[in-house]
């Protein structure tokens, strides 16, 4: 849905961005000790030091705030999505990816689970698809390509990688993260890299 002129102006206002960032940080802190469904607008507003009316100036409810917090963190994490074009770095990026999910397991478990957010799931899928597409072509192109999924063609390996990452990560989260991030990275890396293993195995 396109933003209105007033909404675009508000997003450019530093005060709006600061308040939204503060509310998102507050929710992330609260989820460390409480299940997301049990957190109320009053809880967030009180911890953030704002009024409930200020909260509602920015978000409809806690669920929308959780969506915003997750999409913001995912955008910050895009560089940690596995880069199939650079096999020598994929172990580190996968470890960073799973470590980030583990650090915020309660929040991601809520938004990626059965009763979660279609918006967040789609956002993760699109960003992971774009990162996989750009990464696989970065070496040949000599520069980083766009991560805007609206500007890339359908790419089966990139889409498969994105779906696989979401599936594996969600299953891991819903089972209470039984393996460490390092173990998850070690198990996932060969599966993902097999998609991009061509004639030159030395580059993998």
pTM, to two decimals? 0.74
- The answer to whether position 174 is within a domain reads yes
For residue 23, the domain's CATH number is 1.10.10.60
- The answer to whether position 35 is within a domain reads yes
Query: Domain check: are 22 and 122 in the same one?
Result: no
Q: Read off the pLDDT of each residue in 160-181 and give the average, rounded to a whole number.
A: 93
Query: Domain check: are 49 and 127 in the same one?
Result: no
* Structural contact between residues 127 and 78, judged by C-beta atoms closer than 8 angstroms: yes
Number of domains in the chain: 2
pLDDT at 4 over 50: no
* Structural contact between residues 54 and 45, judged by C-beta atoms closer than 8 angstroms: yes
Q: Read off the pLDDT of each residue in 123-151 and give the average, rounded to a whole number.
A: 63
Query: Domain check: are 31 and 120 in the same one?
Result: no
What does the alpha-carbon distance between residue 136 and residue 157 come to, in Å, rounded to a whole number? 9
Render pLDDT for 68-98 as a digit per residue (tens, 0 to 9).
999 999 888 865 554 544 444 456 788 888 9
Identify the domain containing residue 112 by its residue range: 68-197
Query: Domain check: are 128 and 190 in the same one?
Result: yes
Q: Read off the pLDDT of each residue in 11-40 and give the average, rounded to a whole number.
A: 91
């Amino acid at each position: 849905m396109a933003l209105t002129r007033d909404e675009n102006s508000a997003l450019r206002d530093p005060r709006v961005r600061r308040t939204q960032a503060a509310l998102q940080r507050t929710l992330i802190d609260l989820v460390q000790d409480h299940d997301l469904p049990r957190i109320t607008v009053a809880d967030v507003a009180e911890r953030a030091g704002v009024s409930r009316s200020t909260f509602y100036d920015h978000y409809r409810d806690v669920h929308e705030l959780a969506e915003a917090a997750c999409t913001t963190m995912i955008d910050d994490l895009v560089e940690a999505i596995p880069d199939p074009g650079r096999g020598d770095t994929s172990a580190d990026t996968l470890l960073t990816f799973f470590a980030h999910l583990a650090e915020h397991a309660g929040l991601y478990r809520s938004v990626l689970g059965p009763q979660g957010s279609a918006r967040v799931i789609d956002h993760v899928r699109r960003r992971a698809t774009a990162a996989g597409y750009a990464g696989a072509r970065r070496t040949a192109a000599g520069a980083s390509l766009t991560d805007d999924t609206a500007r890339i063609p359908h790419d089966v390996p990139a889409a498969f990688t994105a779906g696989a990452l979401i599936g594996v990560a969600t299953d891991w989260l819903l089972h209470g993260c039984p393996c460490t991030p390092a173990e998850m990275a070690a198990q996932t890396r060969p599966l993902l890299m097999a998609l991009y293993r061509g004639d030159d195995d030395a580059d993998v």
